Amino acid sequence: MDKRVQSLAEVLVHYSVKAKSGETVLIRANDLSKPLVIAVYKEALRVGAHPRLSIGFDEVNEVYYREASETQLKHFPNISLYEAKNIDCMIAISSPMNLKGMSGVDPNRLVKRYRTLKPVNEWITTKVRWVIVNYPGAAQAQEAEMGLEEYEDFVYRACLLDWDSKKKEMARIARILEKGAELLIKGRDTELKLRIKGRKFIVGGGEFNMPDGEIFTGPIEDSAQGKICYEFPAIYGGREVAGVRLWFEKGKVIRAQADKNQAFLESMLNSDAGARRIGELGIGLNYLISRFSNDILFDEKIGGSIHLAIGRSYPETGGTNQSAIHWDMIKDLRKGGELILDGKRIQKDGKFLI
């Protein structure tokens, strides 16, 4: 076994979820991530925790969304809520067999199921110590346009770093931003103002995402004014929407354009009342991630990028927007981009000046 797998398991158990003796640790994964599952399972036992496996098959999701009736889509899984309420930690390991497996599913069916599962997801995200991580596989490597060995290096390089030191540097930037009132994002075909006064910036230091390396907040809900163009494709539910441009007025998307999958973009924006508002502003600070990989877990952390998510806010930031969706879209600021806080330029070409 690659020694880096064991190192990653130790980070996940000891640092990310901080599993303790006597706690129940849910390990959620598929059959392709077996080496990391076993390493995490072993490490959880070593700290005296009670690991519980939830192993699935990717094909089942596609079968479900194609075959389930309306009644089944709206059926609430009480057993899932019971499980969520009886675990202390969750380590979710992703190693998909086919990243396009869900691309043919009607997006409206996805939204209905997301709404149904909302109580379970909210309990886990607010009451459970959780982390999401990739186990590198062939499908992800192909999507990232890398060989498998190159992709493995990419994953472990981004994950296995000094997170305590990284958190301190990110926290310093977050505290500066929290003192500001208005942030202006400038770049190619982009000039977008957001008000952030009174909102908290959360430091993503590896406790919930692995890799991590971002700070994020919920901008004031009616504040977005202007336009933004995204250089990278926006991916949601296996669907790739390329060339996204959004125009905002009083916090709401009033016009949307895409070079590919325009209809899907519009359908997501029309999901509910909160889907046209920004739920999150994130700033990527992991400079060991320097290339786009078609995976939001990595791409939103690219050093020198920002991302805005339409839809649901994170309440811990002070955000109040409600929606069944949360769709991150990534803007590259490394060539000609700027962040201007209350009239002062604080970042240029993806590098902070503060």
What residue ranges define each of the domains in the chain, with the CATH number in brackets?
Answer: 3-159 (3.40.1830.10), 163-352 (no CATH)
* Percentage with pLDDT > 70 across the chain: 100
Q: Which helix (H) or strand (E) holds 190?
A: strand 190-195
Residue 103 has pLDDT above 80, yes or no: no
Residues in CB range of 17: below 8 A, 6 or more apart: 25, 89, 90, 91, 129, 130, 131, 207
Task: Give the pLDDT band (50/70/90) at residue 324.
Answer: confident
The encoded tokens of residue 354 equal 């503060």
Measured distance CA(112)–CA(125) in Å, rounded: 19
Could you give phi then psi for residue 62, rounded to 5 degrees?
Answer: -65, -45
Torsion of CA 74, 79, 81, 87, to 10 degrees: -150
The encoded tokens of residue 210 equal 């692995």
pLDDT at 62: 87
pLDDT at 213: 96
Backbone CA torsion sign across 178, 303, 128, 8: negative
Three-state DSSP class for residue 199? coil
Q: For 192-233, what is each residue's pLDDT tens digit?
A: 999 999 999 999 999 999 999 999 999 999 999 999 999 999
Nearest to 5 by CA among 36, 29, 27: 36
Task: Give the pLDDT band (50/70/90) at residue 35.
Answer: very high
pLDDT at 238: 76
Is residue 217 within 8 A of residue 201, CB to CB? The reply is: yes
Is residue 282 within 8 A of residue 314, CB to CB? The reply is: no
Nearest to 285 by CA among 302, 310, 268: 302
pLDDT at 274: 96
Instruction: Indicate the range of 91-105, 112-126, 325-339 predicted with least confidence.
Output: 91-105
pLDDT at 61: 87
Measured distance CA(247)–CA(249) in Å, rounded: 7
pLDDT at 247: 98
pLDDT at 100: 80
Three-state DSSP class for residue 62? helix
Query: How many C-beta atoms surround the C-beta of residue 21 within 10 A?
Result: 9
The predicted model gives 111-116 an average pLDDT of 90
Pairing of strands 129-134, 209-210: parallel
Measured distance CA(253)–CA(136) in Å, rounded: 36
Residue holding tokens 């604080």? 346
- 161-170: long-range pairs with CB below 8 Å, 24+: 161/288, 163/11, 163/15, 163/205, 163/206, 163/212, 164/205, 166/205, 166/206, 166/213, 166/285, 166/286, 167/203, 167/205, 167/206, 169/285, 170/203, 170/204, 170/205, 170/213, 170/214, 170/215, 170/285
Residue 1 has pLDDT above 80, yes or no: no
Mean pLDDT over each residue of the chain, to the nearest integer: 95
The predicted model gives 261-284 an average pLDDT of 95
Nearest to 65 by CA among 123, 20, 114: 114
Is residue 304 within 8 A of residue 348, CB to CB? The reply is: no
Residue 174 has pLDDT above 80, yes or no: yes
pLDDT at 6: 97
Residue 51 has pLDDT above 80, yes or no: yes
